[in-house]
Chain A
């Protein structure tokens, strides 16, 4: 476990993090802060969690040697197949963990925000498994572009609340979920889907996703030279990086969504363009105006369409331990098509950003690159196939 990059007592990673919460949330956050570590480190919890990860989620997920993709680039490329998790993305690791935690905290109602719908589906799944009522906040725009996941959540018995405020995407869905929690402080647990939000969420979600890099360590026959993951809030990336943070020989690369390009206004590349500020109760890098109003981001990928980033990523960017780059909507689309044709794997548009970065690297046969394939692309078929017809026009 990394000791260099743990949150301080008050939840700060360097200058980022903390809990900038209104007083209404204070008792909830205090309860979580004082109890969550004891609970998730208890034998009781671990036993049940590990059993579910193994037999329900399908872990460990394979570390797959992508030989045709490797041949294309001239280095050895492995895919960490989080897309093979039950529900089709890494989000389930966190959702299962937090639902078990909520039970131990005595909570009887679960709320969550979702962007691409993967976290919503994962939460709805975990709630169905445990028989808990589940309310999912989702931006109206995301409901439109991620229809399959909306139907899945409904099938699983979740109530979907369409969020009509602001940009009608992940940022606003998160605002509404926080407001719900303010209004229901006693019986409700809020499952944040990424390493964002007030302390202790970034740390808690990091620990629940760290299983990804733990498995990579066990599976990789040779130490990787690079690990690459896409970054929106940053939960799959931190999961893939976590156990390598102290090993400087492994180059860690986070790939943000540049949207139409970081020199345009249609972008979601927070570390490229953001400045320190408070968003969703955490000090982090934020895309904002000079007056501190949050800017509506753009990415073709609903899961990366977020104007903030986990505070640990902001810190890792400042310290230089992780390099953060960005790729455009078009580059991600192309990478999704490439992987589909070369390996028979349709990646989520989010994960396609990590794949697209392969084009921006120098390759050689001595390199072993691991890409965290955070999710599968079924939910993105409408967008992806639209792209095919565009290309042939």
Chain B
């Protein structure tokens, strides 16, 4: 299924973030099918990085464990390729890992293994537009941009114009996994909703419960959950079962 088809059919889109190589090097092979079977709409796979500046302690911890486990960008592509799921996949990572892999080689591998889009939080829009648009187009890869409560209306319009899939609305001015309430974002989300953007909006950061998820679905196409799911995995004895229970609870 293509990434953008998700938004036509469904207005309560659930995107789950996981760190590749976490909790075990090979965990992706178990988690991807479990997420698909649980009815998740989009799976965002984090590429672990030594210096994830936009992430809070939970994702930092998962990144360092994954790196200790020996995960590499190459391994992530191999693991995705060995585990065919139909759920649209996106990769999230920091620009340096992509740069060292080679931007074109990275986009090509994404295309080859069926990854639909990437989120590179530290690749700013102007650098993407000046340098990389032709490569992303060549491999039919969506570049997904972030907006925050501090992003100006003018810049949101510009990001909307250059987005080919969804826009990732960060619910608070923060790193990931902060204990803020997503409901504090009501005014901000209402403001974005009233802008009637042409790209669908997915809200991420601070979504922990089904109540939070329902809340963001009132304003946006859906929500993205990362740290809360990683915390569930951290305590899990049975990844498959934990995944089913977690998604069921969010969807309830």
Contact = CB atoms under 8 A, between A and B. Distances in A.
Interface stretch (B46-54, B107-115, B215-223): B46-54
A166 B50 contact: yes
Contacts of A24: 54, 146, 148, 150, 170, 173-175
Contacts of A21: 122, 124
A26 B96 contact: no
Nearest to B123: A20
Nearest to A10: B126
Interface residues of B, number: 39
Contact of A166 (B51, B94, B96, B121): B51
A175 B175 CA distance: 11
Given A23-B147, A24-B146, A291 B175 contact: no
Interface residues of A, number: 34
B121 to A, nearest CB: 4
B99 A277 contact: yes
B124 A26 contact: yes
A104 to B, nearest CB: 20
B127 interface: yes
Contacts of B49: 292-293
Contacts of A185: 150, 173
Nearest to A294: B50
Given A178-B53, A185-B173, A291-B72, A165 B60 contact: yes
A22 B146 contact: yes
A293 B170 CA distance: 26
A23 B151 contact: yes
A266 B170 CA distance: 39
Contacts of B173: 24, 182-186
Contacts of A10: 126
Contact of B51 (A23, A175, A182): A175
Interface centre among B51, B94, B152 (most CB of A within 10 A): B51
Interface string A259-298: 0000000000000000001111100001010111110000
B124 A19 contact: yes
Contact of B96 (A27, A179, A279): A279
Which of A22, A27, A290 has the largest count of B CB atoms less than 10 A from its CB? A22
Interface in B136-180: 145-148, 150-152, 155, 170, 173-175, 178
B97 interface: yes
B202 to A, nearest CB: 14
Contacts of B100: 277, 288, 290-292
A24 B175 CA distance: 9
A362 B148 CA distance: 57
A179 B175 contact: yes
Contacts of B151: 23, 26-27
B50 A183 contact: no
A307 to B, nearest CB: 9
A278 B126 contact: no
Nearest to A28: B150
Contacts of A183: 173-175, 178
B204 to A, nearest CB: 12
A277 to B, nearest CB: 5
A288 B96 contact: yes
Contacts of A290: 100
Nearest to A291: B72
B207 to A, nearest CB: 17
B67 interface: yes
B95 interface: yes
Contacts of A193: none
A294 B100 CA distance: 11
B134 interface: no
A22 B101 contact: no
A233 interface: no
Given A291-B73, A293-B67, 17 more contacts: A22-B122, A23-B121, A23-B147, A23-B148, A23-B151, A24-B174, A165-B64, A166-B64, A175-B51, A178-B53, A182-B54, A183-B175, A183-B178, A277-B96, A277-B100, A278-B99, A291-B74
20 contacts: A10-B126, A22-B53, A23-B170, A24-B170, A24-B173, A27-B151, A165-B60, A165-B64, A182-B173, A277-B100, A278-B99, A286-B96, A288-B100, A291-B72, A291-B73, A291-B100, A291-B101, A292-B49, A292-B73, A294-B51
Interface of B: 49-51, 53-54, 56, 60, 64, 67, 72-74, 94-101, 121-124, 126-127, 145-148, 150-152, 155, 170, 173-175, 178
